[in-house]
Amino acid sequence: MKTITYNKLVRDRIPEIIKKSGKRAVVESLTDKAYKEFLDQKLGEELQDYLASDSVDELADLVEVIYSILKYKGVEINDFHSLREKKAAERGAFEKRLLLKEVIED
């Protein structure tokens, strides 16, 4: 018998997928505090996966974690999108591809 230890947050259907493959997954439900810690850890993990691969698929995983963090914080997706749109209206987005090189004070 071979055991691989992960200790990481996984999507809800992963234990079912593991079982269908003939293996057994050992899982536990996290407390609120632990869940937030593992969400933050997962956010970093998914960001690194995206940066390493430049894959839209990995970007989707990153957004899924962000949505889970928003839900944990009690923030509705529409409210989050409104916040993003407000910031874009006030400060702009990144469409012009501007690189700030220097600020000179007189």
Instruction: Please write the tens of the pLDDT for every residue from 10-38.
Output: 999 999 999 999 999 999 999 999 999 99
Instruction: Give the contacts of 76 (CB within 8 A, at least 6 positions apart).
Output: 70
What pLDDT digit, counting tens, does each position of 33-67 carry? 999 999 999 999 999 999 999 999 999 999 999 99
Tell me the per-residue pLDDT of 58-92, one tens digit each, with 9 for 90 and over: 999 999 999 999 999 999 999 999 999 999 999 99
Q: Structurally, how many domains does the chain consist of?
A: 1
CA distances from residue 40 to 5, 46, 68 in whole angstroms, order as listed: 20, 10, 10
How far is Cα 97 from Cα 106, in angstroms, rounded to an integer? 26
Give pLDDT, residue 68: 98
Is 14 a member of any domain? no
103 by DSSP, 3-state: which? coil
Residue 85 lies in a domain: yes
**H helical segments located in the chain:** 14-20, 32-53, 56-73, 77-91
Q: Considering the domain boundaries, does residue 77 fall inside one? A: yes
Residue 100 within any structural domain of the chain: no
* Domain presence at residue 7: no
Domain assignment of residue 13, yes or no: no
Question: Does 16 map to a domain?
Answer: no
Is residue 37 assigned to a domain? yes
DSSP category for residue 29: P
